Amino acid sequence: MMITGLDDDASVERAYDVGAIDFITKPIKWAVLKHRVRSVVSTVVAERKVELLAYRDTLTNLPNRLLFADRLEHSIDRSARHRESLALLLVDMDDFKLVNDSFGHDAGDKLIKAVGDLLARSLRRADTVARLGGDEFAVIVEGINGMDDAISIADNLSTILEHNVRLDEQETFTGASIGIAIYPEDGEDARTLLKNADTALFRAKEKGRHCFQFYKPEMSVNAMERLDLENSLRKALDEDQFVVHYLPTIDIHKNEIVSIEALLRWDHPEKGIIKPSDFIQLAEDCGLIVPIGEKLIRNAAKQLKVWRDEGIDNQNLSINIAPRQFRDMDILALFKEVMHENELEASNFTIEVTEGALIENVGEVEHVLNTLSGMGMTIALDDFGTGFASLAYLKDFPVDIVKIDRLFIAGAPDNREDTAIVEAIAGLTRGLKLRLLAEGIENERQLQMLKGLGCQLAQGYYWSKALPAEQYEQFYLNRFYNIG
């Protein structure tokens, strides 16, 4: 505030030019001065609050995306002038959704704040730690001396974030995936550097999480291939290129087909049939698994009705439900609608879930499975032994069938370790009064071993591979009615 005896226009202009925000001429009236000072103070406080809201994350008080972008630009400019390197690290918390689902959003907010505090305390005052949104943070470290410095920083952050964090009465493991890009090698402008750090972060999460990855040029090629594949998936969905193949499940003691598993295939116009292993993970990551999965359920149920109308009516339809489908679609409403449209009963369906689906959203998955089981559907745990499930899931979830992965069947009975695992799982399911379904049966020796272990159900090339509807129908008639 400028107080002066000069009141000409030139003096007023000079006062504002040097930074005055108010101007009072002598003689001073103290009541007016007091009021003007209060007004100025209120204005400054309000401006600081606005600035805080505009440039700071309200939960962590760290710089937000807007301030981060500005700081990254300035950091690059300084590094260019001083001919120094800087590291940009993108930090994404692993399994954060699991914390939200298990303990609630308040706990999730506390975890984000705790992680922000950990990051800020572990770096220099000159470094920038920002929250970009959700569970993603960014770190800018200037003046690094090559790759060794960057590795040391990333390793230190990974170690710090692997500690348990106490949330009220609960302790939760944090852990994070980190993607790193170095200026100027990995980008000379903010946009390129950020894009490449994000590409490295994706690769870190793809590798199994709780790790860090430095950007490499070949990652961008893979990212472009991934983008092309995603665009092709969207086109395939629009053009009905996804088809259903049917894999029979055999009661190995009665030698009868008791169920068919509906398996998704991509009938590419140029590449032919593409198996799910080549595209299903991307479909989950980008959310396309939801409309693709819905189409599979509707088409398979419609085909089941056709077969029932033709007299092939002893079929149970087994359908795989991906983790994201539990989260992003109303499975209960969809199945009720599908059953009504096709005059089917809940007992006509088996729902298959992987071990990963059980731990990704425990509360929601348990509710949905309990409801479907209560309606009369069979619940199968797929690929048992290859994922994260604890034995408690067999007790806590309404599981009727355990599917032992083909990985263990392939080596049996010749491989001692594989055979021991198969025997252990067979004993476990017997003790829990669950049915055991073995995948990947290819020869008589495997079949006889499984019969001896009390396994009831099996799938595999020993009987048939997954077939399109027309071929499956012919297989069924040929095998059991000697027609055609």
92 located within any domain: yes
224 located within any domain: no
211 located within any domain: yes
Low-confidence ranges of the chain (pLDDT < 50): 388, 483-484
The predicted pLDDT at position 483 comes to: 46
What is the CA angle 430-394-392, rounded to 5? 120
pLDDT digits (tens, 9 = 90+) for 202-247: 888 877 767 898 988 877 656 666 777 788 889 989 999 999 999 9
d(CA 436, CA 165): 39
- 455, 426 in Cβ contact below 8 A? yes
Asked if residue 272 and residue 207 are part of one domain, the reply reads: no
The predicted pLDDT at position 392 comes to: 67
225 located within any domain: no
Asked if residue 29 and residue 85 are part of one domain, the reply reads: no
230 located within any domain: no
The predicted pLDDT at position 484 comes to: 42
Residue 345 three-state SS = coil
Residue 233 host element (H or E): helix 217-238
d(CA 239, CA 410): 37
Within 13 Å, how many C-alpha atoms sit on residue 382's CB side?
16
Q: Which of 55, 78, 94 is the last residue of a domain?
A: 55
pTM: 0.62
Asked if residue 76 and residue 11 are part of one domain, the reply reads: no
d(CA 346, CA 353): 17
d(CA 3, CA 32): 12
Asked if residue 396 and residue 259 are part of one domain, the reply reads: yes
- 88, 139 in Cβ contact below 8 A? yes
Joined together, the tokens standing for residue 155 give: 């390793």
Structural domain range at position 306: 235-481
pLDDT digits (tens, 9 = 90+) for 379-403: 999 878 665 455 767 777 899 999 9
Asked if residue 185 and residue 124 are part of one domain, the reply reads: yes
Asked if residue 126 and residue 168 are part of one domain, the reply reads: yes
Q: DSSP code of 278?
A: G
227 located within any domain: no
What CATH number corresponds to the domain at position 78?
3.30.70.270
Number of domains composing the chain: 3
Other Cβ atoms closer than 10 A to 225: 10
Asked if residue 322 and residue 409 are part of one domain, the reply reads: yes
Number of H helices, E strands in the chain: 19, 19
Asked if residue 102 and residue 29 are part of one domain, the reply reads: no
Asked if residue 341 and residue 269 are part of one domain, the reply reads: yes
Asked if residue 254 and residue 147 are part of one domain, the reply reads: no
- 188, 79 in Cβ contact below 8 A? no
- 140, 70 in Cβ contact below 8 A? no
Residues β-bridged to residue 122: none
Asked if residue 155 and residue 207 are part of one domain, the reply reads: yes
Asked if residue 253 and residue 148 are part of one domain, the reply reads: no
Residues β-bridged to residue 123: none
- 161, 118 in Cβ contact below 8 A? yes
